[in-house]
Structure 1
């Protein structure tokens, strides 16, 4: 791959940098899906999303005909670099721009695109993802939520769990079983469901961080119009895998993420006292941070290779599993190293008095395990990589 930026890429950078510097005061602190600190914090993310949308800087890699900027692979990278340069991030306000929108562009009908895409691009409709169930997590195809045809509608009954940000969502893209007699990877359909409709109940789950980012969602005789079916009936597994590839390819890499975390680790080490000096004066600490940084750079360039598929007009492939696996495991090891650096201070929780950096490191450490489970557990990613990339036989 040629990593040189073109004149168009440089102009894209100048334009976005200028806009960011003029509007950065409207941006909330970066946070991820596991760091939802209540409705106020979520509304800050939505306001930032709408601000980006007003400037035409939300979903920049979407095609121009659907309201995006048609950004190239390198321009998408520039976008992330410029956010990271100012310590900012894209808004975490649901999964419309990152998952549902790209999936609809690939599988949706013209009517579905006209109905949903504009509202996603204006941050007017918040989406969550209805995949996992109490008995169908990593083995997603075992899902049992049912949808039965009734005239022009489906009637949905069942339960989903670990549904991120469902308490704030307007809509959910939902996997349901429409043919219980078919093999488990068949007979599944992909529906778009109104979260405010009769029969939908959301119950937040308290995480060990103390936050409530995940939820249980119950469906009791929920009516869903058949026009909300994405792809063909009973063929929803293909659509679902497209969504998952977008999800996994977006985890890890870039100049923010792990690279930004390495820089924060270095800053933490520089202010932690140790034997009359600082932790940063210890060569073993510098060596460990350098080791983590090298891994982060490797993930960044792996992400560049993954993005070339989108440049060719293809959905992300199984290589996204490499990004998800390596990125989340690296993050977990970074947080554990931060605990080593902090020593007794690592026991102080988020926002505790006397905690370094307001206790964010202990929060991140507790939250980091969740990343290895979300978007398909890392054990499942090992299977995908072995079978689909390396061609190994199934265990």
Structure 2
């Protein structure tokens, strides 16, 4: 595996780095919603959103290696993501792959520009990671569907104007065959959004209740019964191993600073613990480079993202656990009101609380391990 970059690639890196320095929001890694809207429009204008999407649909048309360089530089700069990150990471790629030409023309440019912000409706009270058990129903009524049900843990529902909604259109046959995916306007009558306060003070999540929500059949993405395939494809699009490795390197530096602040930097036990995390951070970055190499040489297994998630989420929790333990009594202090106005992840205690969800959100660790066992190692299900 050749880890060197060409002169052209280094020139691209310098261009990206200069652009970030000139355009990065001043609010740090977590500015306000309006700042993020403006940030997304600047990213789009520069061609840095949907960087690998086809140019004919408004994307940047960048190569896999250029996208990796882009991700590296944004991670190094601790730059925030776009407000419409759900649209960029999940919805846009799904529409490009499964949507009609009309849907692509209607939605993709607005996903990139930030004119449309998307929420994803997967989890339910009795169907979190178990999508097979989805109960929200969509019943055909002429040229329309009538949707009834409830979704939980919907990110940014209060700030979104479109809903990427998984529902059940049939109860016949295997449970997977009855799932479908709809693109639903959030202002459709019958949609009720109720914020779910978090232990960190964040207001990111909401419950969404759907009561006789009427949508046209043109809102169906792909075919009826194709919902599970679409959602699985969307989740696989979440992979950024190199950038994750860089963020872990930054976490190591923060742990070192914490150790010095509390007089623990000469303590052999803490030095060993931080060194162990530093090694794991390097392993994570190497894993990302291996995945990139596989992509460049046409041998990438998309299910590798499951293995990457298993490692990255648990390592994230180990970092915040270590930080809180080093701070001792101070690590137990957490001001919810202050956190609600600022970034909870700026403190170890805030990170510790928010990181609890990392091994659950986007598919539990147990599910990711099953994917690794079955799809990568070829082990039997029983």
TM over 0.5: yes
Alignment of 1:63 onto 2:54: yes
Q: 2:182 matched to which residue of 1?
A: 191
Q: 2:227 matched to which residue of 1?
A: 236
User: Contact 1:147/1:156 (CA < 8 Å) preserved in 2?
Assistant: yes
User: Contact 1:258/1:296 (CA < 8 Å) preserved in 2?
Assistant: yes
Alignment of 1:285 onto 2:284: no
Q: 1:34 matched to which residue of 2?
A: none
Q: Report the alpha carbon displacement of residue 290 of structure 1 after superposing the two structures with TM.
A: 2.0
Identify the match of residue 315 of structure 2 among 330, 336, 339. 330
User: 1: CA distance between counterparts of 2:77 and 2:85?
Assistant: 23
User: 2: CA distance between counterparts of 1:287 and 1:92?
Assistant: 38
Unaligned runs of at least 5 residues, structure 2: none
User: 4+ residue runs of structure 1 moved beyond 6 angstroms?
Assistant: 312-316
Q: Report the alpha carbon displacement of residue 104 of structure 1 after superposing the two structures with TM.
A: 1.5
Identify the match of residue 150 of structure 2 among 159, 178, 198. 159
User: Contact 1:253/1:296 (CA < 8 Å) preserved in 2?
Assistant: no
Deviates more, 1:306-315 or 1:62-71: 306-315
Deviates more, 1:217-226 or 1:365-374: 217-226
Q: How does 1:213-228 map to 2 (within 5 A)?
A: 213-228=204-219
Q: 1:41 matched to which residue of 2?
A: 32
Identify the match of residue 166 of structure 2 among 162, 165, 175. 175
Q: How does 1:15-34 map to 2 (within 5 A)?
A: 15-24=15-24, 26-31=25-30
User: Contact 1:253/1:301 (CA < 8 Å) preserved in 2?
Assistant: no
- SS of 1:174's equivalent in the other structure is strand
User: 1: CA distance between counterparts of 2:39 and 2:60?
Assistant: 18
User: 2: CA distance between counterparts of 1:163 and 1:314?
Assistant: 34
Identify the match of residue 251 of structure 2 among 245, 261, 265. 261
Measured on the aligned residues, the alpha-carbon RMSD in Å equals: 2.3
Unaligned runs of at least 5 residues, structure 1: 32-39, 273-277
User: Contact 1:202/1:217 (CA < 8 Å) preserved in 2?
Assistant: yes
User: Contact 1:252/1:323 (CA < 8 Å) preserved in 2?
Assistant: no
List per-residue Cα deviations over 1:135-194 (Å, max 9, x = no partner): 111211110111111222211111111111111111111111111123111111111011
- SS of 1:148's equivalent in the other structure is strand
Q: 1:366 matched to which residue of 2?
A: 353
List per-residue Cα deviations over 1:73-121 (Å, max 9, x = no partner): 2222211222233332323444011111111122121111110110011
User: 2: CA distance between counterparts of 1:369 and 1:265?
Assistant: 19
Alignment of 1:388 onto 2:378: no
Q: 1:317 matched to which residue of 2?
A: 302
Q: Report the alpha carbon displacement of residue 364 of structure 1 after superposing the two structures with TM.
A: 0.4
How many residues align? The count is 376
User: 2: CA distance between counterparts of 1:55 and 1:213?
Assistant: 28
- SS of 1:345's equivalent in the other structure is helix
TM-score normalized with structure 2 length = 0.91
In the superposition, relative to structure 1, how do residues 362 and 371 fare at CA in structure 2: closer, same or farther (>3 Å)?
same
Deviates more, 1:289-298 or 1:81-90: 81-90
Q: 1:295 matched to which residue of 2?
A: 280
Q: How does 1:350-365 map to 2 (within 5 A)?
A: 350=335, 351=338, 360-365=347-352
In the superposition, relative to structure 1, how do residues 49 and 185 fare at CA in structure 2: closer, same or farther (>3 Å)?
same
TM-score normalized with structure 1 length = 0.88
List per-residue Cα deviations over 1:215-249 (Å, max 9, x = no partner): 111111112221221111112211111012123x2
Q: Report the alpha carbon displacement of residue 45 of structure 1 after superposing the two structures with TM.
A: 2.3
User: 2: CA distance between counterparts of 1:103 and 1:7?
Assistant: 34
Identify the match of residue 121 of structure 1 among 104, 112, 125. 112
